Structure 1
Amino acid sequence: MDEQQIITWLKEKNIDKIKFAFADIDGVLRGKVIHHKKFADGLQKGYGFCDVVFGWDSSDVCNNNIELTGWHTGYPDQICRIDLSTFRTIPWQDNIPFFLADFSKADGNDLPACPRSLLKRITKDCESLGFYPEFAQEFEWFNFRETPQSLQEKSFTNLETLTPGMFGYSLLRTSENSDFYYDLFNLLMQFGIPLEGLHTETGPGVYEAAILHDHVIEAADRAVLLKTAIKEIAYRHGIMATFMAKWNENLPGCGGHVHQSLWNKDKTENLFYKADDANKMSDLHKHYLAGQLYCLPHILPMYAPTINSYKRLVEGAWAPTTITWAVENRTTAFRVINTSPAYTRLETRIPGSDTNPYLAMAAALASGLYGVKNKLSLDIPATAGNGYHDTKNGVIPSNLLDAANMMKDSKIARELFGEGFVNHFVTTRLWECKQFAKSVTDWELKRYFEII
């Protein structure tokens, strides 16, 4: 619906409020409920939002190293604009109208810190080259029989998972909680997030959801909304969901793999497919993959943005540790899937479920296009066998500090995303490292408290 149709619909339905939100640098949805008059009045000029939302971290602690905003600027408002194409209603909240927003300004000069605006700019670049970017993200997450209050009371220890045992692809385990399970599938569908599949993964209380593929902006919108939607639906069942990359050292981590392909403008031909190639890969596909391989060390924090992300990227835990690729190999960083012309695609396996989908997809698309524009050849041979042992092209940095400093000094990152974004994003990642460095962990207490 266009603007007038939406205004008319609100009047006909006698709706007096709407909800809207945007994703901050960590992918956390920030938003509010507003009166229908304020909604209508702001459609042209936007809505003021205190820019502290880009000046604090995921715990609302103000980052005193940010240049964009801070006490030195007085935390003014920035103008946030609703994207009417994202209109949907929330079925588990009395069908209140909902919209996504971003900080893309009317004159085209975006707020550098806005993740959705960044993806929109890269998508525009992609489409100017004659490509239609088709993307999807899949998520794994753990479910617990806990509440926010019980987590605090237990100090995040001795948590009760939704189900016990390691039951990947189990019909039995989902039937045990069928009301929750089918609520996820059905309510997400009603909310405009159609799932390709939903099943248990290996681990106690862990599920995986694959979202149907679509244009990259819609794919990222769906992925951002899915995480919050699942948490809200879980609350209704007395369940808590976490998208941490690795919540327990003895269990597998949670992936957030990104699937992608480039099509012609009218979306009638998958440009990644070539029937007479040994791997069914077109030259475009090879250039795109070569770009991702080449750029990976320069942009890793966009795929692995937290301290915890790197606890997942360990050998033998279904997450990559080396800069590798192969056809249908889940031990490599990049997996080529070539089962048919329509479904030939690249799976970028580095991202965990803790990623900001806008940034993960922006990183994948921009680095792939870097390979296309520079006609990078796919000189790295496909890995045969165990990708964890194929280290000849390098390994993925093992911690956020090293990865962030590498991105900070990278000319490639600045070429792909611009000075403003890189400066802001890297500063937020180094802030994360600083907050962790000064904390005293349970590991330290258990190891040193008595014996030292």
Structure 2
Amino acid sequence: MTAPPTDLDDLLAATERDGIEFVLMMFVNLSGKPCAKLTPVAVLPELARTGIGFAGHAAGELGQSAADPDVVAMPDPRSYAPMPWQPGLAVLQCDLWVEGAPWPYSPRVILRRETERLRRRGQVLKVGAEPEYFLLERDPGGGLRVADPLDDGHSPCYDARAATRAYGHLTEVSRTLDHLGWGNYSNDHEDAHGQFEHNFGYADALTTADRVVLFRYLVHTLAQRAGRIATFMPKPFAHLTGNGLHLHLSLWSTDGDELFAPGPDDAAGLSGLGSRFVAGILAHAPGLMALTCPTVNSYKRLGAGSATASGASWAPGYASWGGNNRTQMLRVPADGRVEVRCVDGAANPYLALAGLLAAGLDGIDRHLDPGPPNTDDLERGTATRGAARLPQTLLHAVDELAVDGVLRQGLGKVPGGEYVDYYVAVKRAEFADYHAQVTDWELSRYLTGC
């Protein structure tokens, strides 16, 4: 695998080697929407020095009004990604700056700041991601349905026939990931009709967040080119399992030592440091949910058990941890790493990882104890052993985030205040907009029943 560029000279050599003519200068706003300008490769030397300007207010949720100066996208050469399905095109992820300084409303800037703080401790957070999505199409009436009409089996997870019918799409995604050097090792049909997942190698937190953003972009694009719709929406169908974004976390020293690897006296697959990191995430789970499950729709996926065709939601309802047990919020699937299962397909990966890192480090610094691992099946409503119920709505989660001082510090300060307050205001307005709607369910239940 070719090493990623580290500076402008490396970047220009890579674009020449790959025959790149245009580059998408990409960044995301608070909600994770990818924004970009298409630029000729010939101007890269200038853009690497000056960046390229955007109207931040128009891009949405970047802490700007229409009267504010441009946000300037500064490309990161290490994020260089040529698009094999569109010869001549590459993508560069960008940090946002305003008037010569990093813009603290930029989600990538927030995560970069947290990872640099971690590096000053001599540590690196490495992350693996498991993004899930549906492949859909419009029916003649304009409604949504699963793109594969034969994908209607009683137990569709890992169905070889459904995966084979989707062979063209799955292999195109797989080849793209390998072309990018991500080390794709698995592509499968998930628990819901029309639902798929692709797995690729882990990397440092910032690189993996970049990859999640780019993965969503390329899956949307490849689906649209085939006349289909890809959605990472957490719960697009009431009766089917929703879309998760499970994140596997491990802490390493900058010298390459695995800090979560258990010693001979450690239990449950984690070192003492790893256990304290887990305890920090559990302690801040209520507020973290506003970052890891950031939409109204997110809370229709969590703990939905019997509402799904398979009888399992594969999404946690409690702040709990355990071994190789998928009903826990935090699972230890193998020695030295922890899987966070309370992240869904709508999460902004930069903000979710910044929050998880801040919470985990708090657990380490305060020597928190997560307690014994939970071995119960929490989907079935068995004993929770004191595990706290996770927030039931976006509003509940946002209210928890607003009073969490550790997450507030982790997301940082912005001009005139703190990023948490901005995030909370955006999400409270989103919930209020949702709550103002009158739904078909309400009309059916209450129209003549009151």
After TM superposition, the score normalised by the length of structure 2 is: 0.88
Question: 1:301 matched to which residue of 2?
Answer: 290
Q: How far did 1:45 drift?
A: 2.0
**Counterpart residue number, 2:309:** none
Contact 1:55 1:70 in 2 (8 A): no
Q: Any gaps of 5 or more consecutive residues in structure 2?
A: 306-312
TM alignment of 1:309-320, pairs within 5 A: 309-316=298-305, 317-320=313-316
How many angstroms apart in 2 are the aligned matches of 1:437 and 1:181?
38
**Residue among 315, 320, 333 paired with 1:337:** 333
**Aligned twin of 1:291:** 280
Match of 1:225 among 214, 217, 220: 214
Select which of 407, 410, 414 maps to 1:416: 410
Q: Is the 8 A contact 2:320 2:330 kept in 1?
A: yes
**Structure-1 residue corresponding to 2:391:** 397
The residue type equivalent to 1:386 in the other structure is D
2:48 maps to 43
**Equivalent residue, structure 2, for 1:442:** 440
Q: Which runs of 5+ in 1 are unaligned?
A: 57-65
- Residue 238 (1) aligns with residue 227 (2): yes
Residue type of the alignment partner of 1:334: L
**In structure 2, which of residues 365, 372, 384 is the aligned counterpart of residue 373 of structure 1?**
365
Q: Deviations over 1:424-446 (max 9, x none)?
A: 21111112112212223232344
Q: Is the 8 A contact 1:19 1:98 kept in 2?
A: yes
Query: Quick one: which of 27, 34, 37 aligns to 1:32?
Result: 37
Relative distance call for 1:144 and 1:158 in structure 2 (3 A) is closer
Q: Is the 8 A contact 2:24 2:92 kept in 1?
A: yes
Aligned match of 1:62: none
Distance 1:5 1:416, change over 3 A: closer
Q: Which amino acid aligns with 2:424?
A: V
Matched pairs, number: 428
| Per-residue Cα deviation, 1:112-171 (whole angstroms, up to 9, x for no partner) | 22111111111111111111211111111111134xxx6xx745x352442322311122
**Preserved contact between residue 259 and residue 345 of structure 1 (Cα < 8 Å):** yes
Q: Identify the residue that residue 308 of structure 2 maps to in structure 1.
A: none
1:362 to 351, 354, 369: 354
Which residue number in structure 2 is paired with residue 164 of structure 1? 152
- Distance in 1, matches of 2:119 and 2:261, equals 16
- Partner of 1:79: helix, strand, or coil? strand
Using the alignment, how far apart are the partners of 2:341 and 2:323 within structure 1? 13
Separation of aligned partners in 2, 1:188 and 1:450: 54
Q: TM-score, normalised by structure 1?
A: 0.88
- Structure 1 residue 175: deviation in Å? 1.0
Q: Amino acid of the residue matched to residue 418 of structure 1?
A: G
State how 1:81-92 maps to structure 2 within 5 Å. Answer: 81-92=74-85
2:102 alignment partner, SS class: coil
The aligned counterpart of 2:105 is 113
1:4 aligns to what? 9
Q: Does 1:426 align with 2:421?
A: no
- Deviates most, 85-94 or 441-450: 441-450
Deviation at 1:392, TM superposition (A): 1.7
Q: Distance in 2 between matches of 1:11 and 1:397?
A: 50
Specify whether residues 13 and 118 from structure 1 end up closer, same or farther in structure 2 by C-alpha distance, changes over 3 A only: closer
Q: Please give the secondary structure, in 2, of the residue aligned with 1:195.
A: coil
| 85-94 or 16-25: bigger deviation | 16-25
**SS across alignment from 1:159:** strand
Superposed CA deviations along residues 384-407 of structure 1, whole A, max 9, x for unmatched, are: 212354162311010001111221
Deviations 1:247-303 (A, max 9, x none): 111111111111010112222434432233232321110110111111111222111
Amino acid at match of 1:52: H
How far apart in 2 are the matches of 1:291 and 1:189? 35
Shift of residue 228 of structure 1? 1.3
* SS of aligned partner of 1:33: strand
CA gap 1:434/1:287 in 2 versus in 1, 3 angstroms: same
SS state at 1:168 partner: coil
Sort the Cα spacing of 1:132 and 1:203 in 2 relative to 1 into closer, same or farther, 3 A.
same
User: Secondary structure in 2 aligned to 1:253?
Assistant: coil
Letter in 1 for 2:411: F
2-structure distance, mates of 1:14, 1:256 = 33
Please state how far the C-alpha of 1:16 moved relative to its aligned partner. 4.3
Question: Do the aligned residues in 2 keep the contact of 1:264 with 1:271 (CA within 8 Å)?
Answer: no
Which amino acid in structure 1 is aligned with residue 152 of structure 2? P
3-state SS of 1:443 partner: helix
Tell me if structure 1 keeps the 8 A contact 2:20–2:82: no
Q: Structure 1 CA distance, aligned partners of 2:238 and 2:13?
A: 53
1:270 to 1:14, Cα distance in 2 relative to 1, 3 A: closer
Change over 3 Å in CA distance of 1:281–1:160 after alignment to 2: closer
> Are 1:80 and 1:103, in contact at CA under 8 Å, matched by a contact in 2?
yes
Kept in 1: contact 2:278–2:363 (CA 8 A): yes
SS in 1 for 2:71: strand
Does structure 2 retain, via aligned residues, the 8 Å contact 1:211–1:223?
no
- 174 and 374 in structure 1: CA distance in 2 versus 1, 3 angstrom threshold: same
2:267, 2:354 → 1: CA distance? 29
In the alignment, the residues of structure 2 paired with residue 12 and residue 314 of structure 1 have an alpha-carbon distance, to the nearest angstrom, of 49
* Percent identity between the two aligned chains: 27
CA 1:362–1:14: 2 relative to 1, 3 Å: closer
Give the Cα–Cα distance (whole angstroms) in 2 for the partners of residues 116 and 12 of structure 1. Answer: 28
Give the CA RMSD over aligned residues.
2.3
C-alpha deviation, 1:415, in angstroms: 2.3
8 Å contact from structure 2 (residues 362, 406) kept in 1: no
Is 1:383 the counterpart of 2:388 in the alignment?
A: no
Q: 1:48 & 1:251 partners in 2: Cα distance?
A: 42
Q: Deviations over 1:357-408 (max 9, x none)?
A: 1112112212111111222223x32212123541623110100011112212
Please identify, of 405-414 and 285-294, the stretch whose mean Cα deviation from structure 2 is larger: 405-414
Q: C-alpha separation between the residues in 2 aligned to 1:391 and 1:402?
A: 23
Q: 1:125 to 1:105 in 2, by over 3 A?
A: farther
| 2:174 and 2:187 in contact (8 A); partners too | yes
1:122 aligns to 2:114 (yes or no): yes
- Counterpart code for 1:392: G
Q: Is the 8 A contact 2:125 2:251 kept in 1?
A: yes
Q: Which residue, 167, 171, 183 being the options, matches 1:182?
A: 171
